[in-house]
């Protein structure tokens, strides 16, 4: 076919429609990531950095107990928070998306879920301090009720407080997509299953859960991406005791250790890539959304 044919021309034209987006992504996504990878191999001295390529920062990361420990802490907290957001979020989504018959009520409930977002992220995190502290709301109430004699100290400035904080902040990202998928299930399907003699448990595991799985995957991706990159909640609620990969990047950047910050950045990016790809293998989202 000659290059001047209408169909080739159209293809060239539609190709150009992508140009602004491609340009934008290259400039602000691909290039910075390449830069981070590149900088992670630079030579870092105490007060300066130069572009001589070296593996020193990578070796430092994997030989330091603190850094590798942060990697494991990040993975552990991510799994715990992911599990908790799912365990707490799924029943809530089930209620909002499926059990509530009226569309108006379910919309109102979903709006209620996002009300915490009307205030800033930092406020939401810091609000946990007066809740969980030694003289915080929870301890006072439990003491007044006579359930405990002395305040529970592990509530604040511990891994537990970070988990509580993150779960509360991110659970809504699990509820939303699941409730959306559940809301799309044809109620007749559930009645049909019931008519065929399936009990509630069977209907849930054989019909409702499989049909909501795409929502679970999307929710899990949202939560994972946000939790893995977290640094603010752990910084504010752990009293610096819990160090996540995100916290290390913040401190390294703060002390101008660009090479080490880049190493952690690359590791975090790879980790996120694996997690997202893993979730997408569970469900083919192309067919679902």
Partner 1 sequence: MAKNESIFRLENITRRFGALTALDNISFDAPRNEYISLLGPSGSGKTSLLRVVAGFEKPDTGRIHFMGRDITDLPAHKRGIGFVFQNFALFPHLTVFENIAFGLRNGTDDVTDAEINSRAQDMVELVGLEGLEDRVPDQISGGQKQRVALARTLIMQPKLVLLDEPLGALDANLRGRMQTELRQIRERLDVTFLHVTGSETESLAMGDTVAVLDRGRIIQSGTPEQIHDTPSSPDVALFLNRFNLFDGRLSAQSFQGPFGTVPVSYVCQNPKDVYAVRYDRTKAFRKGDALPGPALPARFLASEYLGSSIISFFETADHKQVEVDHHLSFGDPDDYNVGEEYILSWDPRHAIVFGSEVAA
**Shortest distance, position 100 Cβ to partner 1, whole Å:** 19
The count of chain residues that interact with partner 1, using the rule CB under 8 A, is 18
Tokens standing for 80? 């715990």
Site track for partner 1 across 60-99, x = CB under 8 A: ----------------------------------------
Tokens standing for 201? 């448990």
**210 vs 239, beta carbon nearer partner 1:** 210
240: alpha, beta or left? (left if phi > 0; alpha if psi -120 to 50): left
C-alpha torsion sign, points 98, 104, 110, 113 = negative
Core vs surface per residue 224-236: b (16+ CB within 10 A) or e: bebbbbbbbbbbb
**146 vs 201, beta carbon nearer partner 1:** 201
**20 vs 199, beta carbon nearer partner 1:** 199
**Shortest distance, position 211 Cβ to partner 1, whole Å:** 6
**129 vs 194, beta carbon nearer partner 1:** 194
**183 vs 246, beta carbon nearer partner 1:** 183
**42 vs 279, beta carbon nearer partner 1:** 279
Determine if 102 is a binding residue for partner 1 (CB under 8 A).
no
C-alpha torsion sign, points 35, 37, 40, 43 = negative
Site track for partner 1 across 129-168, x = CB under 8 A: ----------------------------------------
Tell me how crowded residue 214 is: count the other CB atoms within 10 A of its CB: 21
In degrees and rounded to multiples of 5, residue 196 shows phi and psi of -85, 5
**124 vs 194, beta carbon nearer partner 1:** 194
- For 46-62, the DSSP string reads SS-EE----SHHHHHHH
**CA distances for 81 relative to 76, 171, 213, angstroms:** 9, 9, 18
**Shortest distance, position 195 Cβ to partner 1, whole Å:** 5
Tokens standing for 57? 């920062």
**Shortest distance, position 207 Cβ to partner 1, whole Å:** 6
- DSSP state at residue 43: E
Tell me how crowded residue 184 is: count the other CB atoms within 10 A of its CB: 13
**Shortest distance, position 192 Cβ to partner 1, whole Å:** 4
Site track for partner 1 across 179-218, x = CB under 8 A: -------x-xx-xxxxxxxxx--xx--xx--xx-------
Q: Which residues bind partner 1 (CB under 8 A)?
A: 186, 188-189, 191-199, 202-203, 206-207, 210-211
């Amino acid at each position: 076919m000659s290059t001047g044919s209408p169909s080739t021309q159209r293809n060239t034209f539609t190709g150009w429609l992508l140009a602004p987006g491609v340009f934008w992504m290259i400039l602000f996504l691909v290039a910075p990531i390449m830069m981070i990878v590149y900088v992670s191999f630079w030579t870092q001295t105490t007060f300066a950095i130069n572009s001589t390529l070296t593996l020193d920062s990578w070796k430092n990361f994997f030989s330091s107990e603190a850094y590798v420990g942060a990697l494991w802490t990040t993975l552990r907290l991510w799994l715990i928070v992911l599990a908790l957001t799912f365990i707490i979020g799924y029943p809530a989504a089930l209620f909002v998306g499926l059990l509530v018959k009226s569309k108006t009520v379910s919309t109102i409930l979903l709006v209620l879920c996002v009300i915490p977002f009307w205030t800033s992220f930092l406020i939401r995190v810091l609000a946990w301090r007066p809740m969980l502290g030694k003289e915080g709301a929870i301890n006072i109430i439990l003491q007044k009720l006579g359930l405990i004699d002395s305040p529970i100290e592990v509530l604040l400035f511990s891994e537990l407080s970070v988990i509580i904080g993150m779960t509360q902040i991110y659970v809504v990202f699990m509820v939303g997509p699941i409730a959306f998928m559940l809301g799309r299930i044809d109620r007749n399907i559930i009645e049909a299953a019931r008519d065929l003699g399936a009990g509630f448990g069977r209907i849930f595991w054989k019909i409702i859960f499989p049909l909501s799985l795409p929502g679970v995957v999307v929710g899990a991706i949202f939560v994972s991406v946000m939790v893995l990159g977290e640094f603010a909640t752990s910084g504010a609620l752990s009293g610096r005791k819990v160090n996540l990969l995100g916290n290390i990047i913040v401190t390294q950047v703060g002390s101008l250790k660009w090479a080490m910050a880049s190493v952690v950045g690359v590791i975090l990016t790879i980790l996120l890539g694996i997690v997202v790809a893993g979730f997408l293998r569970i469900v083919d989202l192309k067919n679902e959304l």
